[in-house]
Amino acid sequence: MIDTHAHLTDPRFCDDVDSVVERAWDSGVVAIINPATNMEDLGRVVEVVNKYPKVYGLVGIYPGEANPSSWESDLAKIWDILEHDDKIVGVGEIGLDEAPLKENPDLEYAVFEVQLAHAATHDYPVVIHTRNTEKEMWEVMKRQSKLPRAHMHCFSGSIEWLEYVLSSGFYVGFDGNVTYKNAENLRTLAKNVPLDRLLLETDAPYLPPTGHRGERNEPGNVRITAEFLAEIRGENFDTLIDATTNNAKTLYGI
Ligand SMILES: [Zn+2]
């Protein structure tokens, strides 16, 4: 299993990241991908990926995290790290989020679209966050001259949006929230993603699966979501693990 989205650099992991990573390997996780959210987190991502051989990083500016006066020079630093550090395998976490988009639409669109275009031009894979911004995200996608290879993180939304995402060649990730009682819509979406486009994620420390709610989530829990997905999709567990592991390797080149 590969946890394609975990924030090991979150302050909630700073005291015991060694044991968190150890427990992940014990659960059968073979690699973890850690996206960055801002310039401060970026430094921690570079540290963590260079400490653990099977932890890889992504670099980018998360919605609401751009510094209005320095984001362009910050991105120049980000692209330099991406080009030169072999453990940094793509762009992320980038995207659109309802609250910052309402507050500062010009900045949020600019930061997102510049990163998206850079990834497309240089053929870097990208992980995309959307929260209550399906329509706006769709419009952004449609006005790009070229789209990058992408991973839609913590997927939610309409079935039409899923169809668009799949027709664009994107991969689709699900987290522990697919196990929640009221998440019937997420389960319908998860059943409609072809096996060769599906990715496993935890979004740790967020979104712990049922049975662990209220706790800090961690990459080892990706197994619970994988078992749950295999069951609702009517697939063999090992088949789902092999396919999602291959998908992550193909997309991120790890
Ligand atoms: Zn995230």
CA of 29 from ligand 1 middle (Å) equals: 18
CA of 93 from ligand 1 middle (Å) equals: 6
CA of 132 from ligand 1 middle (Å) equals: 15
What pLDDT does residue 127 have? 98
Q: What is the CATH number of the domain that holds 246?
A: 3.20.20.140
CA of 139 from ligand 1 middle (Å) equals: 22
CA of 201 from ligand 1 middle (Å) equals: 9
CA of 192 from ligand 1 middle (Å) equals: 23
Residue 2 pLDDT grade (very low, low, confident, very high; cuts 50, 70, 90): very high
What pLDDT does residue 84 have? 97
Q: What is the pTM assigned to this prediction?
A: 0.97
What pLDDT does residue 80 have? 98
What pLDDT does residue 49 have? 98
The parent domain of residue 106 ranges over 2-252
CA of 238 from ligand 1 middle (Å) equals: 26
Which residues are within 8 A (CB) of 219 and not within 5 positions of it... i.e. 6 or more apart?
3, 6, 8, 20, 21, 23, 24, 27, 29, 32, 202, 204
CA of 204 from ligand 1 middle (Å) equals: 8
Distance between CA 202 and CA 219 in Å, rounded? 6
Q: In what order do the strands lie in the sheet with 55-59?
A: 2-3, 31-35, 55-59, 88-97, 126-131, 150-152, 171-174, 198-200
What is the number of structural domains in the chain?
Answer: 1
CA of 6 from ligand 1 middle (Å) equals: 7
CA of 42 from ligand 1 middle (Å) equals: 13
pLDDT digits (tens, 9 = 90+) for 129-148: 999 999 999 999 999 999 99
What pLDDT does residue 142 have? 96
Give CA 78 to chain center in angstroms.
17
DSSP conformation letters of the chain: -EE--B-TTSGGGTTTHHHHHHHHHHTT--EEEEE--SHHHHHHHHHHHHHSTTEEEEE---TT---TTTHHHHHHHHHHHHHH-TTEEEEEEEEEEHHHHHH-HHHHHHHHHHHHHHHHHHT--EEEEEES-HHHHHHHHHT-SSPPPEEETT--S-HHHHHHHHHTT-EEEE-GGGGSTT-HHHHHHHHTS-GGGEEE---BTS-PPTTSTTSPP-GGGHHHHHHHHHHHHT--HHHHHHHHHHHHHHHHT-
Over residues 21-48, mean pLDDT: 97
CA of 61 from ligand 1 middle (Å) equals: 11
pLDDT digits (tens, 9 = 90+) for 205-238: 999 999 999 999 999 999 999 999 999 999 999 9
What pLDDT does residue 57 have? 98
CA of 36 from ligand 1 middle (Å) equals: 8
CA of 160 from ligand 1 middle (Å) equals: 24
> Mean pLDDT for the chain?
97
